[in-house]
Amino acid sequence: MTKHLFILLIATALVSCSDMATENPLAGDLPKDFEVSEYSKINPDVAMAQIAIAINKKNAIAKDSLIALNLNLNNSEIADCATFLSDKDLAKDIYLNFVGCPRKGWNKKAPCEGQEAFFGWNNQTYSAETSCSVKGCWSGGWDMPMGIDECPSMGCEFESLSDLWESKVSKYSDRKIQSDQADSVFSTLMAICAFNTLQGDGVPSVQKDKDFIEDYVKNRIDSTLIARHFIMAGRYEGRPYKYCNSNEDELRTSDMAVVLSGSGGEFYDYHANLFCLKEEDGKVYKIK
């Protein structure tokens, strides 16, 4: 599997579905220039969530098979996940392109900006403006941690996930990391393993993992669900749906949102405006 093949396959698969105005019954609820391929490229977590859900359903069936074989379910899950994580190149691709984590580290105690401000398929801090803790992601980045000169405060990790990889995967395999609640790398490993297919015969196989993901990406990504995501969630979250033109210069801020309260606490509702991503600085701007 070549580097970033999965993400390239998704882009190719969705390009033919990009004309939502003529092909999708939801087009009347979308901006006139909405293209599912561009929205997916900017917000890769949307398509990736479809894959994670499919894997979760497949794994539920595999668990029944493991139980029928009288195999220890917990041991099997740990061994299968550890095997998946042992392929570091695959793990990197999943971390950056499926979980949607930034390659470069960031300051957790400063406002989110750039990629960490809105990527992450399970990101719960989308609108953070005073701190930036992206769920499932290591703030040291994959292989580009911030230097002390870039981050003199206490909000940065100066070791990258790549630097820590072998020791953390070994710790997970030995079941030591699970009991260490202070070890935030554990949540990152679990976010990556959300894309691991559990084998019902109890024999882990990275090749079968890759084959399942590749087949799903090529043949089963639902472009209508991606468009519906923008209508039902993305617009309210203030997600950028396209790249900015040169005249967009007003940064998205919480002042553009209505603060609502729900069972999970307060959240920002940005649906009154539309937003774009500026490629030059990785920031989100209001569309004029």
Q: How far apart are CA 146 and CA 126, in angstroms?
A: 21
- Structure tokens, 107: 């300051």
* Residue 201 C-alpha from the chain's centroid: 29
- Structure tokens, 17: 């579905």
So what's the pLDDT on residue 126?
43
Instruction: Write out the chain's pLDDT in tens, 288 residues.
Output: 333 444 444 444 444 444 444 355 555 689 999 999 999 888 888 888 899 999 999 999 999 999 999 999 999 999 999 999 999 999 999 998 888 888 888 888 877 765 555 554 334 444 445 677 777 888 899 999 988 888 876 778 899 999 999 999 998 888 766 655 556 788 899 989 999 999 999 999 999 999 999 999 888 999 999 999 999 989 998 889 999 998 999 988 888 988 887 766 677 789 999 999 988 887 889 998
Task: Give Dmax over CA atoms of the chain in angstroms.
Answer: 63
So what's the pLDDT on residue 131?
73
So what's the pLDDT on residue 266?
72
So what's the pLDDT on residue 121?
37
**Which pTM value belongs to this model?**
0.78
Residue in the structure block whose two tokens are 């699970």:
178
Tell me how many helices (H) and strands (E) the chain has. 11, 5
Give burial (CB, 10 Å; 0-12/13-18/19+) of 227.
buried
Q: How far apart are CA 217 and CA 209, in angstroms?
A: 12
Q: How far apart are CA 160 and CA 139, in angstroms?
A: 8
Domain boundaries, the chain: 25-286
Helix axes 73-86, 161-173, angle to 10 degrees: 150
For 52-87, b where at least 16 C-beta lie within 10 A, e where not — what string?
Answer: bebbeeebeebbeebeeeebeeeebbbbbbbbbbbb
Residue in the structure block whose two tokens are 């043949």:
219
So what's the pLDDT on residue 108?
81
Residues 229, 121 contacting (CB under 8 angstroms): no
The DSSP element (H or E) to which 277 belongs, if any, is strand 275-278
So what's the pLDDT on residue 25?
54
